[in-house]
C-alpha cells in the first residue's frame, strides 16, 4: 500500500517537474525582450540592464529556472505588472472557483449518477433512450451558450436570479447561493452528461457480471442487487472519470466565471491573458497544472482504497 | 441471383456492403451524417447560400426582427444574422477538421511507436502525455494565444494540440493490443520490416477506431473554436464566427435575446450531428457493442 502511494507520488512529482519546465520555457518562448517590455517607454540601455539584473534575466537560464522554482515551492510566484503578489492574488481568487467547482461536481454527479443507473436498469426502454438523448444534447451544448440562455430566461424574463456577481457565503448565505445557482447548474449539466454515459456503461457491465447473477439467484431483492452489488463496483469507474474531469471543470470555470462576472480563478486566467501579464499567466498555469496532478494523485489513492486488486498487484497503469 | 452476385464480390467490398447496410439501419446516425454534410456544403458554398454579405451593414434595420427580408433578423449593426451564421460555419468547420487532422498527424505516429516498440520509448511518451494532460485545453489555448496572439489559426493550433494527448493514449492502446495478434506475430516471424508491419498490418486495423475518434474530436474542436472566439482568443471581429456573434450578443440580452439564440443553435446542431454520427460509427464498427 505504502509502496503504491509512493510510486504514484513519485510519478506525480516527475509530471509536476516537467510541467514547471514547460511553463517556464513557454513564457520564454514569447517573442521580444522581457526587459524591454518591462521598461516600457524607457529605452536607455543602462535602465534595461538594471531591469535585467533586477529580474535575474542576466543569469544563465537553468539558474533562472532553479531560482523561479525555488521561490514557487515556497509559495512565492513573483509579482505581477502592478507589483502585487501573484500568490496572494491567486489565493484570494481560488475559494470562489472551489465553491463553484464543488457545487457543480455535486450537481453533475447526482444528476449523472441517477440518470446513468436508471438508464442501465431500464436498458433498451424509454428511460434509457430519454437519458441517452438528453446526455448527447448535454454534450453538444456549449457551457457559455447555456449560461446566456439561462440569463435570458431566469434574470431578464423572470427576474428570479441575479445575472452575475458574487457575495461571500459568510456575509449572505442565501445571496451567495442565489448568485451561484446558475453558474453551478451550467457547469454541472455538462459534467452530468459525461458521468451519466460512464455510469450507464459501467452499470450495464456490472449488471451482466456473474456476481450479480449469483446475488439474484440467492434471492436478494432487486434494490439490494442494484445498490449493493452493481452500483458499488460501478462507482470505481466513475471516480476515475470525475478525476479526469478536473481539466474540463477548470476550462468550464474560466468560461462560466467570465459570463456570470465571478471574480474567481478562471476569470483571473482570462484577465491575465488579456492584460498580457506574464508573471500572472505563469502563476495561474502552474497552479492549474499542480491542481490537476494533485487531484489525479488523490483519485489514484482513493481508487486503490475502492479497488483492493490495484493495491495488491501494484497497479499496472 | 443475389447469391451469385454476393459470391462475385471480394471480401473487402462485401464488408463495405455489410457496414453500409448496418449504418443505414440507424436513423439517428444517418440524420447526423446528413446534417454534417449540409454544414460542410454550407461552409464551402457560403457565398451562394447567404443572401447578404456577412459584413454588409444596414443602419435602417438595426436589431430587426425576423422577416421576409431578413430570415433571422439583423444584429446591432443591421447585419443579416442568417448570412453571418452561414459564413460563420466556415470558421467552425475549418477549426473542427484542421484541428482533428493536426491532432491525428501528431498523435498517431507517436502512439504507434509507443505501443509497438515498448521499451524505453513507451514510458517516456506516456509521461510526456501525462504532462500535456495536466494542462486543460482551454489553459493551453489561453497560453498559446498569449504567446502567439489571438487568431483562428492559433486557436485551431491550440485545439489540435489539446486533443493530442488523449489520441496518443488511444493509438498506443490499440497498437499495444494489435501487436499481440497472431497475424502481426506471423508478419514479424516472416521478417517483415517494422514499417511494413506498422503500415500494412497495425495501422489499417486501427483505422475504424481512429475514424470514430476523429468524428468525436471534431465537435469538441467546433465547440472549442466557439469558446475561444467568444473569449476573444480566436476569430477576431468583424469576421463572422458563431463564438464572435455570441460575444456580441451579450450586450443585447435584454433588447434582442434572439441574437444569442441562433448562433448557439447552430453550434449545438453541428456538434450534435457529429456526435450522433460518431456514436453510430462506433456502433457499427466496434463489434463489442454489437447487439
pLDDT of residue A314: 47
Secondary structure in 3-state letters for A99-142: HHHHHHHHHHHHHHHHHHHHHHHCCCCHHHHHHHHHHHHHHHCC
pLDDT of residue A217: 86
ipTM: 0.78
Please give the residue that has the higher pLDDT: either B278 or B76: B278
* Residues of chain B with C-beta less than 8 angstroms from the C-beta of A11: 127, 130
d(CA A286, CA A265): 12
Query: Among all residues of chain A, which has the CA nearest to that of B226?
Result: A142
Contact A18 B131 (CB under 8 A): yes
Count of CB atoms situated within 10 Å of the CB of A157: 11
- pLDDT for residue A86 is more than 90: no
pLDDT of residue A197: 85
Question: How close A170 gets to chain B, by Cα (Å)?
Answer: 31
Maximum C-alpha span of chain A: 87
- Tell me if A286 sits within 8 A of A20, measured CB to CB: yes
Q: Is A137 near chain B, with CB under 8 Å?
A: yes
Count of CB atoms situated within 10 Å of the CB of B10: 8
pLDDT of residue B138: 76
Helix (H) or strand (E) holding B231: none
* Residues of chain B with C-beta less than 8 angstroms from the C-beta of A14: 127
pLDDT in tens, A103-136: 998 998 888 888 888 888 888 788 888 888 888 8
Contact B226 A250 (CB under 8 A): no
- pLDDT for residue A247 is more than 80: no
Task: Choose, out of A143, A273, A300, the residue to mutate when testing the contact with B (most B CBs < 10 Å).
Answer: A273
Query: Among all residues of chain A, which has the CA nearest to that of B141?
Result: A251
Contact A19 B147 (CB under 8 A): no
Indicate yes or no: pTM above 0.90. no
Share the mean pLDDT of chain B.
Answer: 84
Please identify among residues 245-264 of chain A the ones whose CB lies closer than 8 Å to any CB of chain B.
Answer: 246-248, 250-251, 254-255, 258-259
Nine-digit cell at A37?
Answer: 517590455
The one-character DSSP state at B191 is: T
Q: Is B204 near chain A, with CB under 8 Å?
A: no
Q: Is B257 near chain A, with CB under 8 Å?
A: yes
Q: Give phi and psi for B65, each to the nearest 5.
A: -75, 160
pLDDT of residue A35: 63
Q: Give phi and psi for B287, each to the nearest 5.
A: -65, -20
pLDDT in tens, B19-33: 888 888 888 889 999
Return the SS3 of B88: helix
How would you class A60 by CB atoms within 10 Å of its CB: exposed for 0-12, middle for 13-18, buried for 19 or more? exposed
pLDDT of residue A313: 55
Contact A142 B268 (CB under 8 A): yes
- pLDDT for residue A38 is more than 70: no
Dihedral sign from CA coordinates of A246, A248, A250, A252 = negative
Closest residue by Cα to residue B270 from B233, B231, B220, B213: B220
Residue indicated by cell numbers 424509454: A126
Return the SS3 of B15: helix
Count of CB atoms situated within 10 Å of the CB of A17: 12
* Residues of chain B with C-beta less than 8 angstroms from the C-beta of A145: 226, 246, 260, 264, 267-268
B74, β-bridge pairs: B80
Cβ neighbors of A160 (< 8 A, separation 6 or more) are A154
- Tell me if B190 sits within 8 A of B128, measured CB to CB: no
- pLDDT for residue A5 is more than 90: no
pLDDT in tens, B218-266: 998 998 899 888 888 888 888 889 988 888 888 887 888 888 889 999 9
Torsion of CA A122, A125, A126, A127, to 10 degrees: 20
Q: Give phi and psi for B282, each to the nearest 5.
A: -60, -45
Please give the residue that has the higher pLDDT: either A58 or B14: B14
- Tell me if A9 sits within 8 A of A297, measured CB to CB: yes
Question: How close A317 gets to chain B, by Cα (Å)?
Answer: 10
Confidence of residue B134 (pLDDT cuts 50, 70, 90): confident
A:B CB pairs within 8 Å: 129
- pLDDT for residue A152 is more than 60: yes
- pLDDT for residue A317 is more than 70: no
Amino acid at each position: 500500500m505504502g509502496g503504491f502511494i509512493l510510486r504514484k507520488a513519485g510519478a506525480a512529482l516527475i509530471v509536476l517537474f516537467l510541467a514547471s519546465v514547460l511553463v517556464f520555457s513557454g513564457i520564454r518562448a514569447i517573442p521580444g525582450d522581457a526587459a524591454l517590455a518591462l521598461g516600457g517607454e524607457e529605452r536607455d540601455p543602462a535602465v534595461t540592464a538594471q531591469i535585467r539584473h533586477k529580474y535575474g534575466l542576466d543569469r544563465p537560464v537553468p539558474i533562472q529556472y532553479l531560482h523561479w522554482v525555488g521561490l514557487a515551492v515556497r509559495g512565492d510566484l513573483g509579482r505581477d505588472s502592478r507589483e502585487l503578489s501573484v500568490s496572494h492574488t491567486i489565493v484570494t481568487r481560488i475559494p470562489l472557483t472551489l465553491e463553484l467547482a464543488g457545487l457543480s461536481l455535486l450537481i453533475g454527479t447526482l444528476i449523472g449518477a441517477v440518470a446513468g443507473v436508471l438508464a442501465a436498469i431500464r436498458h433498451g426502454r424509454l428511460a434509457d433512450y430519454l437519458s441517452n438523448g438528453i446526455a448527447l444534447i448535454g454534450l453538444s451544448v456549449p457551457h457559455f451558450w447555456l449560461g446566456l440562455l439561462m440569463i435570458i430566461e431566469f434574470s431578464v424574463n423572470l427576474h428570479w436570479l441575479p445575472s452575475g456577481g458574487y457575495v461571500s457565503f459568510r456575509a449572505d448565505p442565501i445571496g451567495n447561493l442565489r448568485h451561484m445557482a446558475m453558474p453551478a447548474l451550467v457547469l454541472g449539466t455538462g459534467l452530468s452528461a459525461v458521468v451519466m454515459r460512464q455510469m450507464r456503461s459501467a452499470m450495464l457491465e456490472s449488471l451482466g457480471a456473474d456476481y450479480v447473477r449469483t446475488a439474484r439467484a440467492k434471492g436478494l431483492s432487486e434494490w439490494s442487487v442494484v445498490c449493493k452489488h452493481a452500483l458499488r463496483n460501478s462507482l470505481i469507474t466513475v471516480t476515475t472519470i470525475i478525476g479526469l474531469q478536473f481539466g474540463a471543470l477548470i476550462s468550464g470555470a474560466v468560461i462560466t466565471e467570465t459570463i456570470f462576472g465571478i471574480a474567481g480563478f478562471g476569470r483571473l486566467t482570462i484577465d491575465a491573458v488579456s492584460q498580457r501579464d506574464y508573471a500572472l499567466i505563469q502563476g495561474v498555469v502552474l497552479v492549474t497544472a499542480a491542481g490537476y496532478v494533485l487531484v489525479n494523485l488523490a483519485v489514484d489513492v482513493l481508487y486503490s482504497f475502492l479497488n483492493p486488486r490495484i493495491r495488491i498487484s501494484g497497479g499496472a497503469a | 441471383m443475389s447469391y451469385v452476385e454476393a459470391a462475385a464480390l471480394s471480401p473487402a467490398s462485401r464488408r463495405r456492403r455489410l457496414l453500409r447496410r448496418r449504418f443505414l439501419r440507424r436513423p439517428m446516425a444517418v440524420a447526423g451524417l446528413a446534417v454534417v454534410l449540409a454544414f460542410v456544403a454550407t461552409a464551402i458554398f457560403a457565398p451562394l447560400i447567404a443572401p447578404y454579405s456577412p459584413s454588409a451593414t444596414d443602419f435602417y434595420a438595426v436589431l430587426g426582427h425576423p422577416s421576409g427580408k431578413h430570415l433571422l433578423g439583423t444584429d446591432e449593426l443591421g447585419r443579416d444574422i442568417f448570412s453571418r451564421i452561414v459564413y460563420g460555419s466556415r470558421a467552425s468547420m475549418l477549426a473542427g477538421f484542421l484541428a482533428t487532422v493536426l491532432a491525428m498527424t501528431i498523435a498517431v505516429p507517436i502512439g504507434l511507436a509507443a505501443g509497438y516498440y515498448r521499451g524505453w520509448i513507451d514510458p517516456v511518451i506516456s509521461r510526456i502525455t501525462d504532462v500535456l494532460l495536466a494542462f486543460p485545453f482551454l489553459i493551453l489555448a489561453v497560453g498559446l494565444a498569449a504567446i502567439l496572439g489571438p487568431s483562428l489559426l492559433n486557436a485551431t493550433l491550440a485545439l489540435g494540440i489539446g486533443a493530442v494527448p488523449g489520441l496518443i493514449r488511444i493509438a498506443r492502446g490499440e497498437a499495444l493490443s494489435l501487436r499481440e495478434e497472431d497475424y502481426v506475430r506471423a508478419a514479424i516471424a516472416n521478417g517483415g520490416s517494422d514499417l511494413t508491419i506498422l503500415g500494412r498490418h497495425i495501422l489499417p486495423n486501427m483505422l475504424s477506431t481512429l475514424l470514430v475518434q476523429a468524428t468525436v474530436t471534431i465537435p469538441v474542436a467546433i465547440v472549442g473554436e466557439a469558446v475561444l472566439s467568444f473569449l476573444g482568443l480566436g476569430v477576431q471581429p468583424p469576421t463572422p464566427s458563431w463564438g464572435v456573434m455570441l460575444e456580441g450578443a451579450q450586450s443585447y440580452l435584454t433588447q434582442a435575446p434572439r441574437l444569442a439564440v441562433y448562433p448557439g443553435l447552430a453550434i449545438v446542431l453541428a456538434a450534435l450531428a457529429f456526435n450522433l454520427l460518431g456514436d453510430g460509427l462506433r456502433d457499427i464498427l466496434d463489434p463489442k457493442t454489437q447487439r
